[in-house]
Amino acid sequence: MNRTDKRVDGRADDHANNATGTNARTENNVIGNNTKNAESNNANGNAANAATHSASTRSACIERKTSETDIALSLTLEGSGRHDIATGVPFFDHMLNAFSRHGLFDITLTAKGDLDVDAHHTVEDVGIVLGQTLDRCLGDRRNITRFGHALIPMDEALVLAAVDISGRGQLHWHVELPIEFIGTFDTTLFKEFLIAVSTTAGLTLHVRSLAGENSHHIIEALSKATARALAMAVTIDDRLGGYIPSTKGIL
Ligand SMILES: [Mn+2]
């Protein structure tokens, strides 16, 4: 319950409209979707969950504090790409902004990490919290498209991302980066970020660089491709009629 309170309160300043929309959506979860989902619920015998996960907007907010990082992240899957992101790592902010913009995910994020050590803990822990909020937004995965892919160019760079919301978190990274550092940002940290998101949210994520000479272009295209692939995979497909898209019946 605290989480819900924090989400609404936390979003009120920067995203007043979203906060209002979130409230309306919460009511819709309980009331508005009942009619449509009642039929599929009856068929599948799980009314409460279906109502939750057939919502037109899915949001979650998580705050996580350790001795290394202090992170608050709010995620709305059906957003418009609005973001307010501050991790203290400028290049990472740039990549997260691109992730939000091109996935049409609304993200509010503050991360305070031990940057005096290096950016590793901050980047990895943001990945963990993003994975946790994504997992919470998806709930039991009812009616989701499940698979998504994107092939994104950025000038000379060309990057592929393919995702399966499988429940088996794993990253398959085949990305060639010509230089290790972009400014002060260690590019290997972006792999750590995607490992954290994938394993925490239970995603099978493949990323490949098919072309590219500029590491900034490659990683930025990778951010956009991952966002687009994920946006496709999380999309609700009402044709599933309340089912979870797995022959096992769970994801
Ligand atoms: Mn850029």
- For residue 219, how far is its CA from the centre of ligand 1 (angstroms)? 9
- For residue 244, how far is its CA from the centre of ligand 1 (angstroms)? 37
- For residue 137, how far is its CA from the centre of ligand 1 (angstroms)? 28
- For residue 36, how far is its CA from the centre of ligand 1 (angstroms)? 43
Do 99 and 226 meet the contact criterion of CB atoms below 8 Å apart?
yes
- For residue 214, how far is its CA from the centre of ligand 1 (angstroms)? 11
The domains of the chain are located at 147-234
pLDDT in tens, 164-184: 999 999 999 999 999 999 999
How many Cβ atoms from other residues are within 10 Å of residue 5's Cβ? 10
In this predicted structure, what is the pLDDT of residue 127? 98
Which is the CATH superfamily of the domain at 147-234?
A: Imidazole glycerol phosphate dehydratase; domain 1 (3.30.230.40)
What are the start-end ranges of the E strands in the chain? Answer: 59-65, 69-76, 83-86, 106-113, 147-154, 157-164, 170-174, 181-182, 185-186, 204-211
Structure tokens at 247: 């022959």
Instruction: Give the Cα separation of 98 and 122 in Å (integer).
Output: 18
Do 94 and 220 meet the contact criterion of CB atoms below 8 Å apart?
yes
- For residue 94, how far is its CA from the centre of ligand 1 (angstroms)? 7
- For residue 156, how far is its CA from the centre of ligand 1 (angstroms)? 13
pLDDT in tens, 25-81: 332 222 222 222 333 333 333 323 223 333 568 999 999 999 999 999 999 999 999
